[in-house]
Amino acid sequence: MTSQTSFWSPALRGLTPYTPGEQPVIEGLVKLNTNENPYPPSPRVVAAITAVAQEGLQLYPDPQAAGLRQAIADFHGIAASQVFAGNGSDEVLAHAFFAFFRQARPVLMPDISYSFYKVYCGLYGIESALVPLDAAMRVQVAHYRSSCGGVVIANPNAPTGTGLPLAEIEQLLQQQSQCVVLVDEAYVDFGGESAIGLIARYPNLLVVQTLSKSRSLAGLRVGFAAGQRHLIEALETVRDSFNSYPLDRLALAGAMAAYEDHAWFETTRAAVIASREDLARDLQALGFEVLPSQANFLMVRHPAHDAAALAAGLREQRILVRHFRLPRIEQYLRISVGTPAQCAALVQACRALVSG
């Protein structure tokens, strides 16, 4: 009898796909499990999307995303030719893995980081070598000196939230000058230091960012990469061999509007940072150990309580957090920063669980 997977390509059968955070529909849910921004996007985003929806949807969008790339370039002080836009940073990362890391030597990455990196390696047949975080759950740049075909790190790291200063990013770029160093800055706007300013000096640097987090556009799927022109050309070659129209008209309009409203961006990210610091203090008062975070989430554990049991107890109270059943972090919970009211509800529920 023919197996149901017998029609699959052989390479597909061994893949373990990425598991996204749960997106349930539960009445009264406090959703702190997927690092979404608790605040809506700028009203200009909604207005721009509404306006562009009135006319032109029968036409293809701009395949070059010229307007958006210029807006991103203006914000970061680089040239539009140094920007690549894609359908979420996940797509941009996938193109980058294909373009730069299919080498004879392995790509180096932290052992605890964004799990999609390993999925891309499996999809494209890329060998990877995991570099352990130190005992404080931090990336140690000095450990990334071995011969490799590339390096990828998230800065700030996910799911730990810890970040590296630019001096250490430069050290990494210098010690691995013969391969691409990809710095994934999905959470950089919540307290990290962007490496985009280093692009002019380092031809091996590719920085990837997303509009899902600090600009509240997880539902639009917009991301970009920044690097010297030869790196951007490689990404464009991959894109145009895969999908020449990755960003639709609505996403392009909304993303450009998000960059135009700088005041909204600054106000909402400052609110998230303030709530993160308050939440960290409140959880520490309950006995939780909290890793230093430069992201819109906290990685926490309680020495007297099992993480899985805490996650289950919170769920019973309609509060979702993320629990990873993985080595080294199985006793941690990753908690997205919500509104002050959502954070207060979480702290109240945690207080009942740990005191009980």
Q: What is the mean pLDDT of the chain?
A: 96
For residue 136, is it within any domain?
yes
| pLDDT above 80 (res 3) | no
> At 348, which CATH number?
3.90.1150.10
Q: What is the mean pLDDT of residues 61-81?
A: 98
Tokens for 279? 């939440």
Q: Both 82 and 214 in a single domain?
A: yes
User: What is the tens place of the pLDDT at every residue in 296-322?
Assistant: 999 999 999 999 999 999 999 999 999
Single out the residue in 212, 242, 260 at which a domain terminates.
260
Q: What is the mean pLDDT of residues 133-158?
A: 97
Q: Which domain holds residue 298?
A: 24-40+263-355
What's the pLDDT at 13?
82
Q: What is the mean pLDDT of residues 56-84?
A: 97
User: What is the tens place of the pLDDT at every residue in 333-355?
Assistant: 999 999 999 999 999 999 999 99
Q: 195-217 burial, b if ≥16 CB within 10 A, otherwise e? A: bbebbeebebbbbbbbbbbbbbb
What's the pLDDT at 25?
78
What CA–CA distance (Å, rounded) separates 40 from 264?
10
**Where residue 2 falls among pLDDT bands split at 50, 70, 90?**
low
For residue 67, is it within any domain?
yes
* Dihedral in degrees, nearest 10, Cα atoms 231, 235, 236, 242: 160
pTM of the predicted protein model: 0.96
For residue 16, is it within any domain?
no
Single out the residue in 229, 260, 291 at which a domain terminates.
260
| pLDDT above 90 (res 6) | no
How many domains does the chain fold into? Answer: 2
Q: Both 113 and 234 in a single domain?
A: yes
For residue 307, is it within any domain?
yes
| pLDDT above 60 (res 69) | yes
Q: Are 296 and 32 in contact (CB under 8 A)?
A: no
Q: Both 285 and 349 in a single domain?
A: yes
**69 or 4: which leads in pLDDT:** 69
Q: What is the mean pLDDT of residues 50-55?
A: 95
Paired strand residues for 152: 182
| pLDDT above 50 (res 260) | yes
Phi, then psi, of 135 in degrees rounded to 5: -65, -25
| pLDDT above 80 (res 26) | no
User: What is the tens place of the pLDDT at every residue in 87-119?
Assistant: 999 999 999 999 999 999 999 999 999 999 999
Residues 6+ apart with CB under 8 A from 208: 89, 92, 93, 96, 182, 183, 184, 185, 186, 223, 224, 225, 226
Which candidate, 97, 130, 119, places its Cα nearest to that of 12?
Answer: 119
What's the pLDDT at 85?
98
For residue 338, is it within any domain?
yes
Q: Both 98 and 208 in a single domain?
A: yes
Phi, then psi, of 124 in degrees rounded to 5: -100, 5
**22 or 277: which leads in pLDDT:** 277
Q: Both 246 and 342 in a single domain?
A: no
Q: What is the mean pLDDT of residues 10-27?
A: 83
What CA–CA distance (Å, rounded) separates 277 from 145?
34
Cα Rg of the chain (Å, integer): 21
User: What is the tens place of the pLDDT at every residue in 183-227?
Assistant: 999 999 999 999 999 999 999 999 999 999 999 999 999 999 999
Single out the residue in 239, 260, 281 at which a domain terminates.
260
Q: Both 171 and 237 in a single domain?
A: yes
| pLDDT above 50 (res 249) | yes
> At 93, which CATH number?
3.40.640.10
What CA–CA distance (Å, rounded) separates 108 from 149?
8
What's the pLDDT at 1?
47
Q: Both 162 and 300 in a single domain?
A: no
**Where residue 140 falls among pLDDT bands split at 50, 70, 90?**
very high
Q: Both 275 and 254 in a single domain?
A: no
Q: What is the mean pLDDT of residues 72-79?
A: 98
Phi, then psi, of 67 in degrees rounded to 5: -65, -45
For residue 15, is it within any domain?
no
**7 or 169: which leads in pLDDT:** 169
